[in-house]
């Protein structure tokens, strides 16, 4: 028997021993209590009724499905289970949630649930096996300034449509200017780029507000980091494009116009990548899969 096989066998024996330590009734009771905790603390962001639950994790109340996802649960080992680590460190519920973090007793229940193999069987709604439902957690009341900033930050998704559309149309208009060699297109391009730069700055600001009051697991958190900094870079670069096209005459055929065109194409690419990353936060990186 190889060393890896021995380790796997020992892990299986340890899990089996842990499960046997709890009777079937006790496992059902623990599972019900954990489900009650998830219902009280997690459904605001991961409820099954949400059209776009955070992290595409909208089945938090389906304990069997949660336990079968190795990205969240390693049966029998809470310390290797991402879900337990997030609730233990108060990463979840996040700062944008309207409920407080799990109590020490609630965290211990989640730990014990994972330790005994993350059972998914629940008691009947009535009868001798019905477990007591945990009391609802008190709603957290935020200061007015915090609530206001969170509410304003929620405007970020729709605000991104303006700089995206304007930068792309500016590229199209500049293409017509290059093709026709007509100076009249410069006024249109200046208008589009100027508004795009202002709206990109506002959208990036809203994005930082929205991200501050949001919480994601580690995988989606990395995606958020790239989206945030690509968006910030796009806003800064849009301002650079505006400065280039407004700074001088920028006539057709001049070096200034060529520099601007190169900057505009790069800015449009940054905006496109940022938009893709933003939609991936909601739909996943594979949302354009054929």
Per residue, the 3-state secondary structure of 136-195, as one string, reads CCCCCCCCHHHHHHHHHHCCHHHHCHHHHHHHHHHHHHHHHHHHHCCCCHHHHHHHHHHH
Distance, CA of 118 to CA of 67 (rounded, Å): 6
Percent with pLDDT over 90 in the chain: 31
Calculate mean pLDDT across residues 189-194.
96
68 has pLDDT over 60? yes
Considering only residues 255 and 94, tell me which one the structure prediction assigns the higher pLDDT: 255
215 has pLDDT over 70? no
Q: What is the pTM of this model?
A: 0.57
Calculate mean pLDDT across residues 165-183.
94
264 has pLDDT over 60? yes
Per-residue pLDDT tens digits for 123-159: 764 344 444 444 444 444 567 887 888 889 889 988 9
Calculate mean pLDDT across residues 175-185.
92
163 has pLDDT over 80? yes
pLDDT for 97: 64
């Amino acid at each position: 028997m190889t060393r890896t096989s021995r380790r796997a066998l020992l892990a299986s024996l340890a899990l089996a021993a842990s499960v046997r330590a709890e009777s079937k009734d006790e496992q059902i009771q623990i599972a019900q209590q954990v489900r009650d905790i998830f219902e009280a603390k997690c459904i605001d962001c991961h409820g099954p009724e949400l059209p776009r639950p955070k992290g595409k994790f909208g089945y938090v109340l389906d304990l069997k499905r949660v336990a079968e996802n190795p990205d969240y649960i390693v049966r029998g080992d809470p310390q290797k289970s991402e879900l337990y680590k997030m609730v233990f460190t108060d990463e979840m519920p996040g700062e944008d949630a309207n409920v407080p973090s799990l109590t020490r007793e609630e965290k211990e229940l989640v730990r014990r649930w994972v330790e005994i193999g993350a059972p998914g069987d629940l008691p009947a709604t009535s009868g001798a096996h019905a477990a007591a439902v945990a009391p609802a957690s008190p709603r957290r009341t935020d200061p007015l300034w915090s609530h206001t900033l969170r509410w304003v930050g929620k405007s970020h998704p729709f605000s991104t449509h303006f700089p995206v559309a304007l930068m792309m149309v500016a590229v199209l208009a500049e293409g017509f200017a290059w093709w026709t060699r007509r100076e009249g297109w410069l006024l249109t391009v200046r208008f589009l780029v100027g508004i795009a730069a202002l709206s990109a700055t506002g959208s990036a600001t809203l994005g930082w507000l929205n991200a501050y009051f949001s919480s994601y697991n580690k995988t989606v958190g990395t995606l958020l980091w790239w989206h945030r900094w690509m968006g910030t870079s796009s806003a800064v670069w849009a301002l650079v494009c505006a400065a280039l096209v407004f700074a001088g005459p920028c006539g057709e055929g001049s070096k200034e116009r060529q520099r601007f065109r190169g900057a505009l194409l790069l800015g449009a690419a940054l905006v496109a990548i940022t938009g893709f990353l933003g939609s991936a936060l909601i739909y996943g990186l594979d949302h354009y899969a054929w």
